[in-house]
Each structure stands twice: as C-alpha cells, then as structure tokens.
Amino acid sequence: MGDQDTSIKTTKDVRDRLKTLASERGTTMNELLSELVTRELTEEEKERRAQQALEEVRQATGVTVSDDARTRARTFLQNLGQEHHAA
C-alpha cells in the first residue's frame, strides 16, 4: 500500500515560506517537508545514537563513561543548544 496524501494546517506565512524554499531548491513542498523531518532526530533516536557512541568509545578505549560524566555532558550540550537557538 502506498503513502496517502494528508493535510497539515499551518499559517499562511509558513505555507508561503515552504513554497518559496521548495521553489528555490527545485522541489515540491511535500519533498521539502519530507527532507526536513527526516533530518531531525527524535529524542529516542538521539538516545540510541548516544548509547551506540558510548559503546564504541568503550570498545575502542576500554573506558566506560560514568553516569555522572554523561549527565554533565548532556547538560552542557543542552545549554549549548539553548544558546544557539537564542542567538
């Protein structure tokens, strides 16, 4: 069974911006939205990737990252992301 079209309610400004961006990229609004949402990771996907990275570090170095170090790193990255979005 193929994908079925659906509708998403948004503001006129958002729709117009999507239309402009899609046109500039030589694509459709649907393809642009698909590209944008597949680029972003869900929280579950981020956590899975973090766990995979920690396991790779452990295998490559023999070092197991402590829960405290993970918490501090996560807090640092969240703060960094908040600063980036505020700018």
How confident is the model over 28-48, as pLDDT tens digits?
A: 999 999 999 999 999 899 889
* C-alpha closest to that of 81 among 54, 48, 49, 41: 41
Question: Do 19 and 10 touch, CB atoms closer than 8 A?
Answer: no
23 domain residue, yes or no: no
Residue 12 belongs to some domain of the structure: no
Domain range for 61: 43-86
Assigned domain for 17 exists: no
Residue 1 has pLDDT above 70, yes or no: no
For residues 21 and 36, the answer to whether their CB atoms sit within 8 Å is: no
Please check whether residue 68 lies inside any domain of the structure: yes
Instruction: Count up the domains in the chain and report the number.
Output: 1
Q: What is the DSSP string of 8-44?
A: ----HHHHHHHHHHHHHHTS-HHHHHHHHHHHSPPHH
For 64, the 3-state DSSP assignment is coil
pLDDT at 87 over 80: no
